[in-house]
Structure 1
Amino acid sequence: MNASTNSVAVNTSAAEIPVWITYRSSLTIWFIVMLLFAILGTFLNSLLICAVLSSRKLRRGSGILILNCLFINFVLCGIDMPILIYTTYFGEYYQHAPKYFCKYLVLFYYSFVYTVDWAQLAIGINRFVAIFFPHIYTKWTTPKVIIPMLVIPYVIPFACNLVMFYDIGAHYQAMKPWGACGVKPLPHNNTYTVVVALCVALPVAALGVLYITIFVVVWSRSFTSQRQIESAEGHPVAVGNQSALFRRRYRSVKMLFLTAVWYSAALLPAPITSSFFSAEYNSQPLLQLILRGLLLAVYATSPVRMHVKLTILDRTW
């Protein structure tokens, strides 16, 4: 009887051990790797921002929109993620943090996370117009168009998160098991799901439709033009969509599409899992760390891809 009682006491005691003690080694490794990614991402993003600002050709059109993405990545790597990393590693001290601490931190953090998706969509719309409506593209590089495409990606995510900031449908609070700030959806309320759909699923899906449309139409036109050339019996045929400008713009589309896929593959798992599989997400401590690391890896490595894109764009305009 005593043995059984002791066994139960040991198991109960073990179950109550905080995760930052149980997973101390894994958490320490995660902390070091995340800090390195944050430092690297901050440096690369700031370096490329300076490079864009120093180039007159890149301070217009898609260059401005890409600069906006770099700025978002810079804020996430240099401010948001370091706070998240610190509060996760020292989570035991933030379990009872003031309520306003998490409210403002999460409002700021998720607003920028969701802004990435809408900023990418703005670039996709710009490329869509450049490919299919080149005769009006000049108008799309004017401040009247560029400024709204810069502002809207901030307004929508901030408005969505402001709803939960006032505890409508969800709470911003210290989350188990790590104690870092996060979103706790209210039971039987779909507000957080709607926010994820509007700020993540909608822009990602719309961006996918834009790029797929570009690829399908361009491939179809190229196939038709090739058939016309073959049937011309040696006579030259003018193929407008094969101009040098079009080919350069199309190469930029392909590079931007690959970047969007990389972003989506890393950004979608965390909000989808936390929204639709919250129980499983909250019960797997290391899964949360891995998904957060995946997010930071995207923000830190995007300048490498951005450099290639900007090089292409520099030759495009």
Structure 2
Amino acid sequence: MSNSSLSCRNYTLFTNHSAVVHDNAHFATYVTVSSLACLFTIVVYLLLISLTFRRRFSLSGPRFLLAHQFLAEMLMVGVHWPLLLLQLLLARHGIFTSNTFCRHFYFFYEINMMAAIWGLCALSFNRFIAIVYPHLYPRFTRQRFLRAQILAFWILGIAVHLPFYLRTNGFVAEPPWTLCNYARQGSLMFDLAATLRVHLPLALAGVMHVVVLWQVAASRRHANRTTADAAALPPASGAYRKRVQLAKMLFANWIVHCVCFSTLPMLKSVLPLWMLQQTMTLPWLRGLLYSGYLSTPVLFYAMNRECREAFNSVLMCKPLPNAKPRASMSYALSRKEAPGTAISRSDAA
């Protein structure tokens, strides 16, 4: 019996001909909302990428990592998300996805997802060095080191998921919507892959964010205690303020990623029977998963004035605002600075 016939049979037995399957209103709402969110996100990602490469010194500091992060997450919402919606539409019309399609699609999907999450961890590490160990920061902004980081993420993704890809039944199409998934969930190899793909990078990023925020708070307390002697302490540099702003945006983005990426596996483990009964639950939870990628451009727009100005200029059909020249750093470099406020000439963020 073919995979399509098995999927169709499992689909019928799974749903038990329930009326939920034929709830066209819910399905149309899901597809419409997902498609509009996908198009909006792609536009904003293209804007963020153009801004990243527009500035002078755009490939120094965290901008190189930001460009990779935007590209990786744009692939998730620009390639993998439309394919997911296509799967749902085909299943809706009785054309079920085969295991062969899932074998190829899910392999590249998981590699892309792993590179995106580890890229977020790399950005957290970049802010950690910039704020906690600013004098060591130039060593971690060299092009060779940054490129090696990014290449390592993609190679790691291939190595982790290659065993599943080589198995003919490693990735399968699950009923009722024939969405691609792992064949043996709960196995040791599955748990190891999930840890390396999601849990470990998010945990490392969380620890580094906590240390960075603690360092920023300590620097502010030190500055408040020395306000009586203003001449002994120069004001915080513009580069340091940008570092702190980017760290805050990445911390907010990390929180959203944790919520979006942990909800689906948690419900599948805690409430499996409830998810089996609610046939529209899985697509909406998949939408929550992709909300983690939607959060990146939304947070950059909400927390970055330059991004808002550029986006508004595009909407008004005006040219993008020119980049402002870098402020002189000679004064800050020549004076003794508060802990965490030291800046380097190679940091343009």
- TM bucket (normalised to shorter chain) is 0.7 to 0.9
Q: Counterparts of 1:156-195 in structure 2 under 5 Å?
A: 156-167=156-167, 171-185=170-184, 189-195=187-193
Counterpart of 1:185 in 2: which secondary structure? coil
Q: Counterparts of 1:1-317 in structure 2 under 5 Å?
A: 16-17=16-17, 21-91=21-91, 93-95=94-96, 97=98, 99-167=99-167, 171-185=170-184, 189-224=187-222, 226-227=224-225, 229=226, 234-236=228-230, 238-239=232-233, 242-274=236-268, 280-307=274-301, 308=303, 311=306, 317=348
Residues 117-166 of structure 1, C-alpha deviations (whole Å, 9 max, x = no match):
10100001111111122222122111121112212222222322222223
- TM-score normalised according to structure 1 size: 0.82
Deviation at 1:55, TM superposition (A): 2.5
- For the 8 Å contact 1:61–1:146, the answer to whether it is kept is no
* Alpha-carbon distance in structure 2 between the residues aligned to 1:44 and 1:243: 29
Deviation at 1:49, TM superposition (A): 1.7
Unaligned runs of 5+ in 1: 1-11
* Alpha-carbon distance in structure 1 between the residues aligned to 2:143 and 2:204: 23
- For the 8 Å contact 1:49–1:71, the answer to whether it is kept is yes
Identity of aligned residues (%): 21
Deviation at 1:237, TM superposition (A): 6.7
* Alpha-carbon distance in structure 2 between the residues aligned to 1:57 and 1:174: 46
Alpha-carbon RMSD across the aligned residues, in angstroms, is 3.1
Deviation at 1:96, TM superposition (A): 5.7
* Alpha-carbon distance in structure 1 between the residues aligned to 2:278 and 2:199: 24
Counterpart of 2:280 in 1: which secondary structure? helix
Counterpart of 2:181 in 1: which secondary structure? strand
- For the 8 Å contact 2:127–2:247, the answer to whether it is kept is yes
Greater mean alpha carbon deviation, residues 117-126 or residues 17-26: 17-26
Change (3 A) 1:163 1:309: farther
Q: How many residues of Structure 1 are paired with residues of Structure 2 in the alignment? A: 299
Deviation at 1:212, TM superposition (A): 0.3
Change (3 A) 1:53 1:273: same
- For the 8 Å contact 2:15–2:279, the answer to whether it is kept is no
* Alpha-carbon distance in structure 1 between the residues aligned to 2:13 and 2:128: 60
- TM-score normalised according to structure 2 size: 0.75
* Alpha-carbon distance in structure 2 between the residues aligned to 1:166 and 1:100: 12
Counterpart of 2:299 in 1: which secondary structure? helix
* Alpha-carbon distance in structure 2 between the residues aligned to 1:156 and 1:83: 24
Residue type of the alignment partner of 2:214: V
- For the 8 Å contact 2:20–2:279, the answer to whether it is kept is no
Greater mean alpha carbon deviation, residues 118-127 or residues 148-157: 148-157
Counterpart of 1:41 in 2: which secondary structure? helix
Deviation at 1:310, TM superposition (A): 9.1
Residue type of the alignment partner of 1:262: V
Larger fraction in helix: 1
